[in-house]
Amino acid sequence: MKKLFILGKEDRPSLPAIVCSWLLVCIFIVVFFWISLHAIQTTFDFSFIADFHIRLLKGFGMTLLLSLASFIVSLFLGVISAAGQGSRLLPIRCLCTLYVTFIRGTPLIMQIYLFFYIIGTAWGIENRFLAGVLILSIFEGAYITEILRGSLLSIDAAQLEAARAVGFTHAQTIRWVILPQLIARTLPALTGQLASIIKDSSLLSMIAVIEITQTIREITATNFRLFEGYFFLGILYLCLTLPVTLASKVLERRFRYEN
């Protein structure tokens, strides 16, 4: 019995032990929620999923689209700003550093309101999807800058000297040495960042982009099925983030030689 739940210092958990523990945790969670919900005398009613399935599907599609578009644009911004931080033009370097510092040092929700005001009012971008993608990309781009910058700096000088020694040109060094090592080093982290983007996109509901969180907010505002609505929302996000996280893990293992 003890063997099932407590690991010795050097032990690896056995399969039955793993299953038992997971089961225990699941039972605990279910009971906890059941008691909590019983206290406020709720009954479960997930019928809204069928009733609103078109809106839900649209919202889910919007979240997917927002995330993918933002991922691409933020990658683009990240590459530019990572390169800019190594620029020999000092003002460019300052600008990129300022960008990264400001974005990483302030909460997304503040940036959403600030940029939506600037982008929407001053630049006249009325399209909320476009504004959302821009704002989210600016935010995530700063984190991607850090990921790229870190691995660029950590490329071994010995590898670059070896590239010169075998006779590679600059272009060949980039193609055959720097890029593959950079990709191997950043791809797992970048994939992880995609999971963050998916989750962060929910905050765009604040400026009424009708993505999945906003859709659920609107639905629950009329049917008051708050628990079911947000529970279902959580499941939907997990459907997106779990595969992405898994992919990130697989990539990490695939590029194991980096460590």
- Site map 161..200 versus another protein, x via CB under 8 A: xxxxxxxxx--x---xx--xx--x----------------
- In the bound state with another protein, the residue whose beta carbon lies nearer, of 35 and 157, is 157
Mark the segment that binds another protein (CB under 8 A) among 68-76, 157-165, 207-215, 226-234.
157-165
- In the bound state with another protein, the residue whose beta carbon lies nearer, of 68 and 184, is 184
- In the bound state with another protein, the residue whose beta carbon lies nearer, of 79 and 184, is 184
Helix, strand, coil percentages for the chain (3-state, nearest 5): 85, 0, 15
- In the bound state with another protein, the residue whose beta carbon lies nearer, of 95 and 182, is 182
Residue 107's nearest CA partner among 16, 176, 17, 206 is 206
- Site map 26..55 versus another protein, x via CB under 8 A: ------------------------------
Q: Should residue 258 be labelled a site residue for another protein when binding is judged by CB under 8 A?
A: yes
- In the bound state with another protein, the residue whose beta carbon lies nearer, of 83 and 178, is 178
Residue 43's nearest CA partner among 258, 219, 228, 205 is 228
DSSP string, 215-236: HHHHHHHHH--HHHHHHHHHHH
* Contact with another protein (CB under 8 A) among 14, 21, 101, 159: 159
Q: For residue 136, count other CB atoms closer than 10 A to its CB.
A: 27
| Least distance between another protein and beta carbon 176 (Å) | 6
Residue 135's nearest CA partner among 157, 110, 165, 170 is 110
DSSP string, 52-77: THHHHHHHHHHHHHHHHHHHHHHHHH
Alpha-carbon span 174 to 182, nearest angstrom: 10
Q: Should residue 158 be labelled a site residue for another protein when binding is judged by CB under 8 A?
A: yes
| Least distance between another protein and beta carbon 170 (Å) | 8
Type of residue found at 201? S
Q: Should residue 152 be labelled a site residue for another protein when binding is judged by CB under 8 A?
A: no
Q: For residue 17, count other CB atoms closer than 10 A to its CB.
A: 16
Q: Which chain residues interact with another protein by CB under 8 A?
A: 156, 158-159, 161-169, 172, 176-177, 180-181, 184, 257-258
